Amino acid sequence: MSLLAFVAALFPLNTLGHYIHWHIIYISVANLTVIVLMIIVFAAALLAPFPGRKRRTKQ
Amino acid sequence: MSYTEIERQWTTRLRRRLVKVLPPEKALPDTQPAYVASWIYVFGVTTMCALAVVILSGCVLALRGPMWWHDSPEGHFVNSLHLWSVEIFFFAMVVHLWGKYFMAAWRGGRSLTWVTGAVTFLVSIVAAFTGYLSQTNFDSQWISTQAKDAINATGGGAYFNLLNFGQMLMWHIVLLPIAAVLLTALHVLLVRKKGVVPPFEDEVKAKP
């Protein structure tokens, strides 16, 4: 199995989408995944050390 | 030409006004404040880089037309490049927006910077929407027939007809990209003019 076929098997894009339905919230798993990733990246951007920050602050 | 005549030239007056509004050392600064050394400050630039790829890949798609990607592997590749650069564009823009919102980036006379960023976000949503309508497939047909009722309910359907493919394509490849790029340029110039918003603690320290 080629790498492309392996990735395609992991993330099948030619099937019907999966949805989460909870009370009034109705969202596709794909959209929810992107929102969760944005929150993770946002938190990481706040907490992760930036290269050279200490040197710049001293200056 | 006399000195008075040179003084009255529109080019002279405009140049002086531009230099006064945005001096060269502010427009292209050598350094940035120490607090800019944080990952939260990189998402604005990421958004602009993604916008550049969106525009370039869109230009290549425009050369061959909106149907190209259906029957050509190269067209499919460029179309995918266009789609995924848009995904990164919105991803980075939303993280940038969250960061600036929680920093209250409109402080210190930066309200117009905030407003131009917010309007760019709204314009980009309409640009992405018309992009969906320009796919020339069942997906675009479905979206246009579903969304037309919402637009018609606002009374805007006579001016913005979602079922008119030519009109939607023109909005997508001419009007909205021009608006998004001009607003982004204005946004960046305002950031240069007013400077990057400082963290709250630095602002408190700076006050007498």
Average pLDDT estimate for B91-114: 95
**For residue B32, what is the nearest residue in chain A, using CA coordinates?**
A56
Contacts of B73 (CB under 8 A, 6+ apart): none
Minimum-distance CB partner of B40 among A46, A52, A59? A46
Q: What is the pLDDT of residues A30-58, one digit of tens each?
A: 899 999 999 999 999 999 998 876 666 66
pLDDT reading at B208 higher than 60: no
Q: Which residue of A has its CA nearest to B35?
A: A57
DSSP B132-157: HHTS-SHHHHHHHHHHHHHHHHHT-T
Please say which residue of B89, B120, B149 terminates a domain: B89
B140 and B177 together in one domain: yes
pLDDT at B107 over 60: yes
Residue of B nearest to A55 (CA): B34
CB contact under 8 A, B39 and A45: yes
Across the interface, do A45 and B34 touch by the CB < 8 Å criterion?
A: no
Residue B64 is assigned to a structural domain of this protein: yes
ipTM: 0.83
Per-residue pLDDT reduced to its tens digit, B117-140: 999 999 999 999 999 999 999 999
Same domain, B124 and B79: no
pTM for the structure as a whole:
0.87
User: pLDDT confidence of B203, banded at 50, 70, 90?
Assistant: low
> Do the Cβ atoms of A45 and B91 come within 8 Å?
no
Q: Is A38 on the interface with B (CB under 8 A)?
A: yes
Whole-number Å distance between alpha carbons of B192 and B186 = 10
**Arithmetic mean of pLDDT, B23-42:** 89
Whether A19 and A28 have beta carbons less than 8 Å apart is answered as yes
For residue B75, is it within any domain?
yes
Check residue A10 and give its pLDDT: 78
Q: How far is CA B111 from the centre of its chain?
A: 17
Q: Range of B78's domain? A: 40-89
| Calpha distance B93→B73 (Å, rounded) | 30
Burial of B130 (0-12, 13-18, 19+ CB in 10 A): buried
Of B24, B55, B89, the residue at which a domain comes to its end is B89
What is the C-alpha separation between B89 and B103, in angstroms, rounded? 21
- Asked if residue B205 belongs to a domain, the reply is no
* The CA-based dihedral angle spanning residues B163, B165, B166, B167, taken in that order and rounded to the nearest 10 degrees: 50
pLDDT, tens only, A2-25: 888 888 887 777 778 889 999 999
As a three-state string, the secondary structure of A1-59 is CCHHHHHHHHCCCCCCCCEEEECCEEEEHHHHHHHHHHHHHHHHHHHCCCCCHHHHHHC
A21 forms beta bridges with A26
- φ/ψ (deg, to 5) at B135: -75, -15
Mean pLDDT of chain B: 93
Same domain, B166 and B109: yes
Pair (B187, B111) in one structural domain: yes
Determine the Cα–Cα distance for residues A42 and A33; give it in Å rounded to an integer: 14
Question: CB neighbours of B18 closer than 8 A, spacing ≥ 6?
Answer: none
A52:B37 CB<8 A? yes
The tokens describing B98, both together, are 């969250």
* Residue B22 covered by a domain: no
pLDDT of residue A56: 65
A14 touches chain B (CB under 8 A): no
If one compares B27 and B57, the residue with the highest pLDDT of the two is: B57
Would the pLDDT of B207 be above 70? no
pLDDT in tens, B146-188: 999 999 999 999 999 999 999 999 999 999 999 999 999 999 9
Residue B35's pLDDT is: 86
